[in-house]
Amino acid sequence: MIHVKPSIDVQNRSRKLVAHLAMMLTDLRIDTQYTEHGEPLTDESRTTEETQERDRRRRFIAEFAPHLRKVEQIKLEGGIPRDEKREILRALHWCPLKKVVMIGLSFPAGNTWGSQGFQLKALDPGQNIDSNINLEDEDLDGILASYRRGFSISRGFQFEPDYGWPAQAPLLQTIALHHASTVEELKICGYNGCPILSFQTPMTAPLLNGLRHYDNLKQLVISLWLLTWYEDSYRDTEIIQSWLDTRSPSSTALAVVTPPTSPMREHPVDPGQFPNFNPRVAPRQEFNRWAVALKTRFSPSALAYRVARDMGPYLSPVAKERPGGVKVRASFCLGVREEGRSASDIFDLEIRIGQDDQVLEYIGPREEGERGRWWTKLEERRWF
């Protein structure tokens, strides 16, 4: 495709349109071509079509985004490389962002599972490694070095696009430099590489520590990986059913405990016969280890405290001390897992984390597509 330079008239009209939108646009949603392999750190495509798509995205970043001044909500959809997400949010430096949504197949803030997901594989033997083959390793030494140097931004900040992902601050830390004082809601959703509940890898803390700078944060929505592999099989179906039973008023799913019983008397009692105090007359209760694990690891209350224990330390103490604390919505992906197929049912657990990482309240887990939640979500989101 041959690029034809626009006429002077078209250029002038384009500038006027950009200037108008710069002072009028408050909600911004950016979408691109979906990639089924997850979002890369940077786009190194070589085909003609892919390079043209990259050029269009980067023209938007360089020639449109820096002019915006009123954007309060931004949604970055899947398919956008991580460095371009970073540059878009840097370009919006002068906007009073209140809500930042980042969605992808891969966890937008970074990969906590290591190269090709090997650290998850060590915890989850049933994991299909092929689905994580494109996960890129994070530069842990480079990130730690950036923390030692500290982070700052010049008063006379001028945006210049800078692509690639060298050793540098993690994404949440960079966003905090530009928008931590105004952001009230963060949504970081993508399951490949997301934090593993109750099993933090060496990359988890460096990638999430930037959350401590968001003093005005009221709500955090984040993908968390729930390990459901137990005794050589996935227990997703049983876990989901236990959640549904807990919430259903008509459920009869109660724990049935058989009380000890005495043996039937075979003969009349002889006054000259003494009772046999056999300590084993009562049948031994069979110990169901999975039932115990289901209660202590996967019940709603157990999950609420596990999420608070994992996420609480990363939240701003200032935000947690406010009345009601910080609402954290942990998003889990469960469902039937078959060879070559990942789980696809999303369940959300909402909790409020207060001072000293206390759980103030919790709701769920609830299905994302639950009828009442679905309509409420549509009504509140507008077109966004």
**Rounded Cα gap, residues 187 and 189, in angstroms:** 6
Amino acid, res. 62: A
Higher pLDDT, 188 or 335: 188
Tokens representing residue 124 in the block? 């989850």
**How much is the pLDDT for 261?**
42
Taking only the tens place, the pLDDT of each residue in 44-96 is: 988 988 899 999 999 999 999 999 999 999 999 988 999 999 999 999 999 99
* Residue 218 pLDDT grade (very low, low, confident, very high; cuts 50, 70, 90): very high
**How much is the pLDDT for 255?**
35
**Total residues found in the chain within this entry:** 384
Residue 280: count other Cβ atoms within 10 Å of its Cβ.
Answer: 6
Taking only the tens place, the pLDDT of each residue in 1-56 is: 556 777 888 888 888 888 888 899 999 999 887 777 789 999 998 898 889 999 99
* Phi, psi (degrees; rounded to nearest 5) at 90: -70, -40
Sign of the dihedral defined by the CA atoms of residues 245, 248, 252, 257, in that order: positive
* Residue 341 pLDDT grade (very low, low, confident, very high; cuts 50, 70, 90): very low
The C-alpha R_g of the chain, in whole angstroms, comes to 27
Taking only the tens place, the pLDDT of each residue in 112-124 is: 999 999 999 999 8
Lowest-confidence segment of 2-11, 25-34, 182-191, 309-318 by average pLDDT: 2-11
**How much is the pLDDT for 36?**
74
- Among all chains, which residue has been given the structure tokens 């993690």? 170
Q: Where are the domains of the chain?
A: 16-237+290-381
The mean pLDDT value of the chain amounts to: 86
Taking only the tens place, the pLDDT of each residue in 114-166 is: 999 999 999 988 776 666 788 999 999 999 999 998 888 888 899 999 999 98
Model's pTM, two decimal places? 0.85
Amino acid, res. 45: S
**How much is the pLDDT for 343?**
56
* Residue 339 pLDDT grade (very low, low, confident, very high; cuts 50, 70, 90): very low
**How much is the pLDDT for 22?**
86
- Among all chains, which residue has been given the structure tokens 């540098």? 168
Taking only the tens place, the pLDDT of each residue in 220-244 is: 999 999 999 998 889 999 999 999 8
**Rounded Cα gap, residues 18 and 5, in angstroms:** 18
**Predicted confidence (pLDDT) at residue 377 exceeds the cutoff of 90:** no
**Predicted confidence (pLDDT) at residue 250 exceeds the cutoff of 70:** no
- Residue by residue, what is the 3-state secondary structure of the chain? CCCCCCCHHHHHHHHHHHHHHHHHCCEEEECCCCCCCCCCCCCCCCCHHHHHHHHHHHHHHHHCHHHCCCCCEEEECCCCCHHHHHHHHHHCCCCCCCEEEEECCECCCCCCCCHHHHHHHHHCCCCCHHHHCCCCCCCHHHHHHHHHHCCCCCCCCCCCCCCCCCCCCCHHHHHHHHHCCCCCEEEEECCECCCECCCCCCCHHHHHHHHHHCCCCCEEEEECECCCEECCEECHHHHHHHHHHHHCCCCCCCCCCCCCCCCCCCCCCCCCCCCCCCCCCCCCCCCCHHHHHHHHHCCHHHHHHHHHHHHHHHCCHHHHHCCCCEEEEEEEEECCCECCECCCEEEEEEEEECHHHCEEEEEEEEECCCHHHHHHHHHHHCCC
**Predicted confidence (pLDDT) at residue 338 exceeds the cutoff of 70:** no
**How much is the pLDDT for 31?**
86
